[in-house]
């Protein structure tokens, strides 16, 4: 077996973000681009000699080719074993679980999450560490530093084995174990939710529509919802993973899952609708005639999680990302558990989960998870919702409106301005930060700013500080606006504006969030000068 040491030179721009490195697929296919980055990851994590590494992805275009390259490089760098999902498939939560139960050193997860796929779409690669969660900043910093000094990479001359058959093959001195990507995940879900109770729900005629968006969750949903739980065939739609996601954008929001939203607000709506994203870590849940916002979903799940089979002992604590609405905070107060507000990025939850201080966590960007893995988990959230519906004997709408009656409603929306000029976006945020000392007392329309800051987080587990995590303007009526630039896109910058206002009066809980939040939306636009600075006078996506 021949190990090739190939001379190379650093490639600019290979800086991993919260979700690893994401670029256009065409960029990853450039000569040595992927190989350079994989070698930088291997070196940045301290090497893989003698280690076990999990490898899998969401099945998007270039997934199988990239896995072949990664396997050849792992073997050339001395890894003992690579565990790969059959066909190169592993949802992100399933990969996290596999890393944990096999006590692997870590794993390469190939995905650009909710970004579009295909030859002209996006591609991504991240490394998850031994706890199953995304690499923390010291490791991603080390990876980035290595991308700037790399002079060679190591790769086996021999081709990697085919990924379509279960079994173990040898590549150089490394075992390549091809495993069922679904089985271990199903076993985990059986421990967490009451399969018998949900079977009874479906047997009684409960109707669900689950849109897998031609992404990786399809096979998992077919296996669990239809095969294990007895939901009728056809419950899962768009369930076959496709390299380009069927030409669609695999993001479960009102824009990209418009057909599902239309169905759930139609006269023939099923009892519940749900969808997941490209790599299976995000979710959306709808009831007949009602949509559950991700922020509300976190709060409802937290308030009811004790009803699910695997959480009968109750919650240790709740965590949410700073831009997520404060609905879960009210649950934490009512049930008497700690509440943690973190920056955006699942790695911040990982420390809290490892320390045993929280049980459930979530982000407004359709991500919810618990201490069962160290990633958000879209199908898990849907199954927990089903278990709660079955346990309470209420509809999704009844559970949500009842929650608002008990806790009040946090009207909430996120406005995304996508692919704006990067420099314009950076100037907008920089100017907002510079204006913070003078914002208190300023009036915008009917609202006056009570206080403003740039969110900084001190990790209670290790004392690390993460600053500059988002500009917050808190208004005198309790409303707030938050401004951030997102790092999940591959073109330009995405400005995200998060807007929220609390309403305690049940008589006012059935209003349109955009109408209720109109004064906050107008104040945020004037405060940041979004239209003037970006040329965008309406957001591309409203969630």
Distances (CA, A) of 525 to 450, 473, 530: 17, 12, 5
Using CA atoms, how far apart are residues 305 and 287, in angstroms rounded to an integer?
18
Pull the structure tokens for residue 308.
């699910």
CB 338 within 8 A of CB 332: yes
> Bridge-partner residues for 230, per DSSP?
none
355 burial (CB, 10 Å; 0-12 / 13-18 / 19+) is: middle
> DSSP for 38-85?
HHHHHHHTT--TT-EEEEEE---TTHHHHHHHHHHHHHHTT-SEEEEE
Cα atoms found within 13 Å of the Cα of residue 320, Cβ hemisphere only: 25
Annotated catalytic residue: which of 19, 96, 111, 113? 113
- Which residues on adjacent β-strands are paired with residue 5? 154
Give the count of beta carbons closer than 10 Å to the beta carbon of residue 454.
15
- Judge whether 395 counts as a catalytic residue: no
Q: How far apart are CA 65 and CA 508, in angstroms?
A: 54
CA–CA gap between residue 239 and residue 346 (Å, rounded): 26
> Count of residues for the chain?
543
**Number of Cα atoms under 13 Å in the Cβ half of residue 397:** 11
Quick check: 340 and 352 in contact, CB under 8 A? yes
From residue 360, alpha-carbon distances to 137, 170, 305, 384, 459 in Å are 22, 40, 9, 12, 17
Non-local CB neighbours of 17 within 8 Å, separated by 6+ positions: 140, 487, 488
From the number of C-beta atoms within 10 Å of its C-beta (0-12, 13-18, 19+), residue 17 rates as: middle
- H helices of 92-210, in order, are 92-101, 137-147, 183-192, 195-203
The C-alpha angle 379, 381, 385, rounded to 5 degrees, equals 115
Helix (H, G, I), strand (E, B) or coil at 401: helix
Q: Side-chain half-sphere of 453: how many Cα atoms within 13 Å?
A: 7
- Quote the CA–CA distance of 52 and 226 in Å, as a whole number: 33
What residues are annotated to the active site?
Answer: 113
């Amino acid at each position: 077996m021949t190990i090739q040491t190939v001379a190379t030179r650093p490639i600019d721009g290979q800086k991993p973000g919260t979700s690893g490195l994401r670029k256009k697929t065409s960029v990853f296919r450039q000569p040595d681009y992927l190989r350079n980055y994989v070698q930088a990851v291997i070196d940045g994590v301290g090497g893989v000699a003698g280690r076990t590494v999990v490898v899998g992805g969401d099945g998007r275009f270039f997934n199988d080719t990239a896995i072949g390259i990664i396997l050849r490089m792992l073997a050339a760098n001395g890894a003992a074993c690579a565990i790969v999902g059959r066909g190169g498939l592993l949802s992100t939560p399933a990969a996290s679980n596999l890393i944990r139960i096999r006590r692997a050193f870590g794993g390469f997860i190939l995905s650009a999450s909710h970004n579009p796929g295909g030859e002209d779409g996006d591609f991504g690669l991240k490394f998850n560490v031994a706890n199953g969660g995304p690499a923390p900043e010291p490791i991603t910093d080390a990876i980035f530093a290595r991308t700037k000094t790399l002079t060679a990479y190591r790769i086996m001359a021999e081709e990697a084995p085919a990924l379509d058959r279960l079994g173990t093959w040898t590549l150089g001195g490394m075992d390549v174990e091809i495993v069922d990507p679904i089985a271990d995940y199903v076993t985990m879900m059986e421990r967490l939710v009451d399969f018998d109770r949900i079977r009874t729900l479906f047997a009684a005629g409960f109707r669900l529509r689950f849109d897998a968006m031609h992404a990786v969750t399809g096979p998992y949903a077919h296996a669990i919802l239809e095969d294990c739980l007895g939901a009728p065939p056809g419950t899962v739609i768009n369930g076959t993973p496709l390299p380009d996601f069927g030409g669609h954008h695999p993001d479960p929001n009102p824009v990209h899952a418009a057909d599902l939203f239309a169905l759930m607000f139609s006269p023939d709506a099923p009892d519940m609708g749900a969808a997941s994203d490209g790599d299976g870590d995000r979710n959306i849940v709808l009831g007949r005639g009602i949509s559950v916002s991700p922020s509300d979903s976190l709060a409802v799940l937290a308030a009811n999680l004790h009803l699910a089979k695997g959480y009968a002992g109750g919650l240790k604590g709740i965590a949410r990302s700073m831009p997520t609405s404060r609905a879960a905070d009210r649950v934490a107060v009512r049930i008497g558990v700690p509440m943690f507000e973190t920056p955006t990025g699942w790695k911040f939850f990982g420390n809290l989960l490892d320390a045993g201080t929280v049980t459930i966590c979530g982000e407004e960007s359709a991500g919810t998870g618990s201490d069962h893995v160290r990633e958000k988990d879209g199908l898990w959230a849907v199954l927990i919702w089903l278990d709660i519906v079955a346990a309470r004997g209420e509809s999704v709408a009844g559970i949500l409106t009842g929650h608002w009656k008990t806790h009040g409603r946090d009207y909430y929306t996120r406005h995304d301005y996508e692919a704006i000029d990067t420099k314009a976006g950076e100037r907008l945020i920089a100017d907002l930060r510079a204006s913070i000392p003078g914002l208190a007392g300023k009036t915008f329309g009917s609202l006056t700013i009570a206080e403003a800051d740039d969110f900084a987080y001190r990790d209670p587990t290790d004392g690390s500080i993460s600053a500059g995590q988002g500009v917050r303007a808190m208004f005198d009526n309790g409303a707030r606006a938050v401004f951030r630039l997102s790092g999940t896109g591959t073109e330009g910058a995405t400005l995200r504006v998060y807007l929220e206002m609390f309403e305690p009066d049940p008589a006012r809980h059935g209003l349109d969030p955009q109408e209720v939040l109109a004064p906050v939306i107008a104040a945020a636009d004037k405060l940041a000068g979004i239209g003037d600075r970006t040329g965008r006078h309406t957001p591309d996506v409203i969630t």
